[in-house]
Amino acid sequence: MAKKQSEKKQSSLQDEKIMTADASRQDTDSSEKTQAERSDEETSTVDMKSADFQNIQPDTSGDRNDIKLDLLMDLSLPVSIELGRTQLLIKDILSLKRGSVVEFEKLASEPVDILINGKKMAEGEVVVIEKHFGIRITNLMNAVDRVRSLGA
């Protein structure tokens, strides 16, 4: 009799598991249908319109550009002159003393490079003005090249 009761309990537990599995399948099927039906309804009710934008005309007045340039006019940049370059061995550098002469690759008649903010912008020749050195500009780089070199 105890065996029969335990067999009944096991069969009723199995029946409950089957019923639960069937119910969950039905819920899944109905939720899938509901989602599919919802997506069909959503796409059928959406109206699409193209956006209308106002035509933008470029500002032809030079006032704005002048204001932007005026802001830059007060900036200070380092200016340096490069007489020439050379390479020396470490032993030659260590042997330098007062009165030593370092020879550059550039000839004395060649123009010197004028560097602004570390970028070559012009060439010129060295002049002396009342005990001070100066540079007479002999060649300016193309304006486009000058602007490009500032960004590099």
- For residue 102, the model assigns a pLDDT of 93
Residue 79 lies in a domain: yes
Residue 83 lies in a domain: yes
Residue 80 lies in a domain: yes
- For residue 9, the model assigns a pLDDT of 53
- How many other CB atoms are there within 10 angstroms of residue 114's CB atom? 21
Q: Give the integer Cα–Cα distance in Å for 124 and 121.
A: 10
Residue 66 lies in a domain: no
Q: Give the integer Cα–Cα distance in Å for 128 and 113.
A: 17
Domain that holds residue 127: 75-151
Residues 23 and 82 placed together within one structural domain of the fold: no
Of the listed ranges 47-51, 95-99, 106-110, 142-146, the least confidently predicted one is 47-51
Residue 56 lies in a domain: no
Residues 82 and 137 placed together within one structural domain of the fold: yes
Q: Report pLDDT digits (tens) over 78-125.
A: 999 998 889 999 999 999 999 999 998 888 888 999 998 888 899 999
Of residues 91 and 7, more confidently modeled: 91
Q: Give the integer Cα–Cα distance in Å for 152 and 142.
A: 16
What's the rounded mean pLDDT across residues 8-14? 55
Number of domains in the chain: 2
- How many other CB atoms are there within 10 angstroms of residue 85's CB atom? 9
Q: Could you tell me the CATH number of the domain that includes residue 136?
A: 2.30.330.10
> Maximum CA pair distance of the chain?
130
- Please report, for residues 23, 100, 105, 117, 141, the alpha-carbon distance to residue 83 in angstroms, rounded to integers and kept in the order given: 92, 17, 9, 16, 18
* DSSP H stretches of helix in the chain: 2-45, 63-72, 90-94, 143-151
- For residue 20, the model assigns a pLDDT of 54
Mean pLDDT of the residues in the chain:
75
- For residue 71, the model assigns a pLDDT of 78
* Residue 64: pLDDT over 80: no
Residue 70 lies in a domain: no
Residues 89 and 22 placed together within one structural domain of the fold: no
Q: What is the CA radius of gyration of the chain?
A: 43
Residues 31 and 79 placed together within one structural domain of the fold: no
Q: Give the integer Cα–Cα distance in Å for 122 and 130.
A: 24
- For residue 6, the model assigns a pLDDT of 52
